[in-house]
Amino acid sequence: MQRLKADLKRSDVLNYFRKVALSENQNSFLDEMLSSLKENKDSKKIAFIQPNGVEEIIIATSLVTSIKKNYPDYDIYFFTRNEYFDLINSHPDVKKVLNYFNKMDDPLFFEGKGANNKYFDIVFAPYLSINNNYFRNAEDIIQYNIYESN
């Protein structure tokens, strides 16, 4: 209380507690989501991560279609921020749209890095840049068909 009177602004304190609450909520939601994915461990799964950008998500829908053609036996889970769910929710090749969390900036997180559990067989994260995008677990089919429009 003395610091509030002396040098600390109320808005700074409020922002600090909002940041802490957001972080704790994200961890809680992430734990719930991961446990639901773990229960469905028999299916082959692909994670496609595109956190934001209307244009990027619309472009990603064509990539999802191509990925599904190359991996017909896999379920594709699309991760984005919830304000973009409507852009991808009805895509026929997407099994489920889920919330993006900052921990997903390390795609190895989903593939069982270290002692962590493996949740996905393949992770596509084009938003990380061409240099950081990768295919793992020797299950990748590095081939994309280019279709000409009529």
Domain parsing of the chain, residue ranges: 1-39, 42-150
User: For residue 115, how many other CB atoms are within 10 A of its CB?
Assistant: 5
pLDDT tens figures, 14-57: 777 776 665 555 556 666 666 666 666 678 889 899 988 899 88
Long-range contacts of 35-39 (CB under 8 A, 24+ apart): 37/77, 37/119, 37/120, 38/117, 38/119
In this structure, which topology does domain 42-150 adopt according to CATH? Rossmann fold (3.40.50)
Cβ count within 10 A of residue 56: 15
Q: Would the pTM count as exceeding 0.85?
A: no
Asked if 47 and 77 touch (Cβ cutoff 8 Å), the reply is yes
Token couple for 43: 């299916």
* Residue-wise pLDDT tens digits, 53-97: 899 888 888 889 999 999 999 999 999 988 999 999 899 999 989
